[in-house]
Structure 1
Amino acid sequence: MKILKVPYTGNIKRIFKLISLVPLFFGCEDTVDVDVPESEPRLAIEASLDWEKGTQGNEQQIRLSMTTPYFDNDQSTPVVGASIQVINVDTEELFVFGHQGNGIYATDEFVPRLNNSYRLEVTYDNEIYLAEERLHSVVDIDELAQSRENGFDDDLLELNIYFTDPEDEVNFYIIWCQSNSDLFPFLFDFDDEFVNGNQIHFTYEKSDDPDNGQFPFEPGETAWVRLLGVSERYHDYMGLLISQSGTGGNPFGAVPATLRGNIVNTTDQDHYALGYFRVAQVATGLYTFE
């Protein structure tokens, strides 16, 4: 069996980025008023039903919020009064998500079934939003290990993630990594187009980038890894989102286009929601650097 190494290091793109705007001119005292166009508030649906291996997967939650103007102090407004249900299309099982407060809707009765399709139905403000996804399986993480020689800088610690891709299958993955020193997780999209049936060796090295809250791994630091088996469409969606996150911090950069997920407003298609309905099996692992 061949081992294929996939190194990621240097300026790794993040799904979330803190954007700091630096004054471009000094000594300018004139006040300049800039009209910033404001888009209408949209419903944001955070619906990721993840079944972690070794658990029942019955406890799931979905968060609803409304977007707010960019310069508002509140980044989003929780949504109450919505009706949410998820239906197993293959078995016709129905799972109702009840509001728990702060825009969180939850159930403890969800039943994950591999290769079954699930349909999300959200009713809010007299509009109906629908999305459908299939629950994809994922392999186990074979091993987590540390080294210094697999990345670009031999002085930096790096995390090595090993997993074996199944033969004769088309698989798409999201690799999610976060340590106890990271403000936000780092995400990577990966598919097996050229590595089908091989053991994958994925190397994750963090360079020193304080402006973006990124610091090298240190002894004693613990990293949490999640390997998700996802659909091709979700893989492509996340790839675009990860790519767009790399434009932050440049006031003259192109403004990223709004990415539309798989959630459709069947009442008014122009009044679409933000977000993506995901159903995934997840393999997890923890590693503490020595």
Structure 2
Amino acid sequence: MKTYFKLVILFLAMTLTSCDDVINVDVQTAPSRLVIEASIDWEKGTTGSDQTIKLSKSTPYFDTNTNTAVTNASVRVVNDNDGTEFIFTHQNNGAYTNTGFIPVIGQSYTLEVIHEGETYTANETLTPVVDITEVNQSKEEEDEDLLEVNIIFTDPEAEENYYLLKIQRQGDLLPELIDFDDEFINGNRIPMWYEKEDDEDTDEVNESFQPGDVVDISFFGISEAYSNYMQILIEQSEGAGLFSSTPVPLKGNCINTTTPDNYAFGYFRLTQVVKTSYTFQ
């Protein structure tokens, strides 16, 4: 019996150690594209004059090159009503800044980026946002050990509104993004609840909110077009489920007017935002 057992072990060892052939898999690659991060966000209580637009190039998934900044572009934003031009100056790191931007609620603006002989344009309207009236905490009804943060605001009744809520616990790597509209909540006082649950699939502990945690909250008013874009982006970033559609390249509103097929990634948005923070008790 012992001899048989040893023979089985020896056979398994030979089988496992012999399976060491290298398999080369051809991974599809896509052409490098311009990535435009043009978020003009006017925080309430500020002038909104300091704005930054970031340009980079996309890279293959397994590429280890981290220096993707675009340093040789021309960037400007124009007020479509009076033609006021805001030139964004390169800072030698892919960031282009302007310290004299004038935000106007309801005003349409056009972005123009010229890079490597090609012109990219996008158009958006600066969307307002209502104030957050209260931030507090509560405990989840089915699990009193789970803390949740509550963000309360009142939705305007006379208009369609689209919102983006960004919640990030200080110390966390990534924020949580929540996109929603007022189709079923129009004109009401709206409480938004958010909690973090422990992830059983990871070794990390205290994923849920704990007393002393500080949460940064940003509440944006966004356009319907940007809301549609964010819905797809959030769905794809959360991973494909059983009935999810196959992820596809997500196109924003930045159009290449020189070579349309060489489109850019990213989005040009103009939003008003309310920022606050909350410390759990």
With normalisation by structure 1, the TM-score equals: 0.86
User: In the alignment, which residue of structure 2 is the partner of 1:236?
Assistant: 228
Q: Runs of 5+ in structure 1 lacking a partner?
A: 1-25
Residue pairs, 1:164-243, within 5 angstroms: 164-209=154-199, 211=202, 215-243=207-235
CA distance in 2, matches of 1:120, 1:212: 45
**Percent identity over paired residues:** 49
Shift of 1:89: 0.4
User: In the alignment, which residue of structure 1 is the partner of 2:147?
Assistant: 157
Q: Runs of 5+ in structure 2 lacking a partner?
A: 1-15
Larger RCO, structure (CA 8 Å, separation 6 or more): 1
CA distance in 1, matches of 2:236, 2:24: 28
Deviations 1:4-32 (A, max 9, x none): xxxxxxxxxxxxxxxxxxxxxx8742211
Where 2:144 maps in the other structure, the secondary structure is coil
User: Does residue 1:83 correspond to 2:62, yes or no?
Assistant: no
Shift of 1:212: 9.7
CA distance in 2, matches of 1:267, 1:72: 28
> Contact 1:158 / 1:206 at 8 angstroms: preserved in 2?
yes
Residue pairs, 1:250-265, within 5 angstroms: 255-265=246-256
> Contact 1:181 / 1:221 at 8 angstroms: preserved in 2?
no
Shift of 1:50: 0.1
Distance verdict in 2 for CA 1:189–1:254, change over 3 Å: closer
Residue pairs, 1:123-142, within 5 angstroms: 123-142=114-133
User: Does residue 1:280 correspond to 2:271, yes or no?
Assistant: yes
Deviations 1:97-138 (A, max 9, x none): 000121000010100000000100000000000000000110
CA distance in 2, matches of 1:107, 1:174: 24
Structure 1 stretches of 4+ with a deviation exceeding 6 A read none
User: In the alignment, which residue of structure 2 is the partner of 1:54?
Assistant: 45
RMSD: 1.9
Shift of 1:245: 1.1
CA distance in 1, matches of 2:154, 2:171: 28
Residue pairs, 1:105-120, within 5 angstroms: 105-120=96-111
User: In the alignment, which residue of structure 2 is the partner of 1:99?
Assistant: 90
Residue from 267, 270, 273 that aligns with 2:258: 267
Relative to total residues, which structure has the larger helix share, 1 or 2? 2
Larger radius of gyration: 2
> Contact 1:66 / 1:76 at 8 angstroms: preserved in 2?
no
CA distance in 2, matches of 1:254, 1:167: 34
Number of aligned pairs?
Answer: 261
Where 2:250 maps in the other structure, the secondary structure is coil
CA distance in 1, matches of 2:67, 2:135: 37
User: In the alignment, which residue of structure 2 is the partner of 1:34?
Assistant: 25
With normalisation by structure 2, the TM-score equals: 0.89
